Amino acid sequence: MIKKINILLVLLLSLLPCNILAYSNYVIASGDNIGIRLNTDGIIIIGTYDIEGTDPATSAGLKVGDKIISIDGKKVTSIEGISSFLSRNSKDTVSIGYVRNGKEFKTNLTLKNKKTGLYLKDTISGIGTLTFVDPNTKRFGALGHEIVDSISGKIVESKEGTIFSSSITSITRSSDGNPGEKNATFNTSDILGQIEKNTNKGIFGEFKSTIGKNNLYKVANIEDIKLGDAKIRTVINGNKVEEYQIKIVKIKETKDNTKNLIFEIMDDTLLEKTGGIIQGMSGSPIIQDEYIVGAVTHVVVDDPTRGYGILITNMLEEAENSRE
């Protein structure tokens, strides 16, 4: 009887779904400033222009925010691909396949001197902060929120891109109602990692650079976090990561697992230099005692001394789920 029960238990356990995630109990809390280049899933129309008094793109029904995916039935994935096609094309009219609001359409575009009348982009670039690197899985997470296309206001659909080294050259300070920003130079040849996913919890992928052993912190669960003193790690000059004092004033679970923390900057040096939370600070890891507890994500616009953060466990789970 005992053997039968044991066998039954083993069979039941084998049928249960396994949701155990592979992230480590300790990860490296970074704070490094990074450049980001994300390849868009399609070529995005960002504007149109007149050619000899006509607007061929508007006449074809194309709009800003549409994504071009094919020409004359041939898939195109880059602006270079479109240019190459047009240089070989001898026709005055081409068929354009495009996506709008998730649906595919086709239209005929009349060219003028082999010109389309379209302003296009196939990559999105910016800066942010590297939150963590898992030394065991080599997964990284940054930003703590999604990258959104400034034209359409929608999350950029992409499964590839890179993060690379970046250096802060100056700071535009925040003021009430006007978030400031980090100004930086990029070194696109110094690739740190490959982006595999852009989600509402950040950008994630495989870290390709050397992984140091400094700044290893224990991963905090929500019950490990308490109200009160903490610090953030970020760069506001050159490449130097520094720590600044904050106070966690609220901890909460949310439906979308974002904006779990509300904090206030208490560090006079940071306030003097930045005026509060600034653009480019997203992803700065939040540290409390021996734990990494989360990352900076958003500023409270009418009070830049206060900001939101995401729980580190939510980012780590997303990093594992984004594994290809």
Q: Which residues are catalytic?
A: 145, 267, 282
CB 271 within 8 A of CB 305: yes
User: What Cα–Cα distance (Å) separates residue 225 from each residue in 202, 250, 313?
Assistant: 21, 10, 12
Do β-strands 216-219 and 228-235 pair in parallel, antiparallel, or remain unpaired? unpaired
Structure tokens at 137: 């899985």
CB 250 within 8 A of CB 314: no
User: Where do the H-state alpha helices sit in 185-311?
Assistant: 268-274
DSSP conformation letters of 178-222: B-EEEEEEEEEEEEEEEEEEEETTEEEEEE-S---SSSEEEEPPG
d(CA 71, CA 149) in angstroms, rounded, equals 23
